[in-house]
Amino acid sequence: MSLNSNCLKIEIYYLLSVLWILILESAIQAEQDEGLEKLEETVISTKHIALAVNEELGLHTRLIDDLDEHVDVTDSRLRRVQKNLAVLNKRTKGGCSACACFYQWLV
């Protein structure tokens, strides 16, 4: 074999190696692209879930605020009734069992 022939073989091996590396890189990139597409789907799905959770939280916040307002109104009414009962109890000097029954009926 001549030197020229050996150089040609080396050059062919080199080109085949480079070609093999390019094929492997292409396969790796295709695999990465597929993984990124799946990741994108997951991110989009997570976004939709987060938006739905946010909407649900907004609804719950409004419901809790509404409940809080009703509790405040009820608390005010209850305090007013308790004051009226205390006044009534003092007037009757604590001897009225009907007042106790009425109070139990209110509560």
The tens digit of pLDDT for each residue in 37-68 reads 999 999 999 999 999 999 999 999 999 999 99
Across 77-92, b (16+ Cβ under 10 Å) vs e yields eeeeeeeebeeeeeee
The length of the chain in residues reads 107
Domain that holds residue 59: 3-106
The pLDDT of residue 102 is: 61
User: What is the value of pTM for the model shown?
Assistant: 0.55
- Give the whole-angstrom CA distance, residue 83 versus residue 95: 17
Q: How many domains does the chain have?
A: 1
